[in-house]
Amino acid sequence: MFSERLKNLRKAKKLSQYELADRLGFSRGKLANYEQGTREPDFATLEIIANFFDVSTDYLLGVTSGQPQDKEERDIAKRLKQFEAELENSDGLAFDGEPMSDEAKESLLESMELLFRQTQRINKKFTPKKFREDE
> What residues does each domain of the chain span?
2-61, 71-128
Classified as helix, coil or strand, 94 is strand
| pLDDT for the residue 130 | 61
- Residue 133: per-residue pLDDT: 59
CATH class assigned to 2-61: mainly alpha
What is the per-residue pLDDT for 57? Answer: 83
Question: Mean pLDDT over all residues of the chain?
Answer: 80
Secondary structure (DSSP) of 11-60: HHTT--HHHHHHHHT--HHHHHHHHHTS----HHHHHHHHHHHTB-HHHH
Angle at which helices 43-53 and 102-125 pack, to 10 degrees? 50
pLDDT greater than 50 at residue 32: yes
pTM (2 decimals)? 0.49
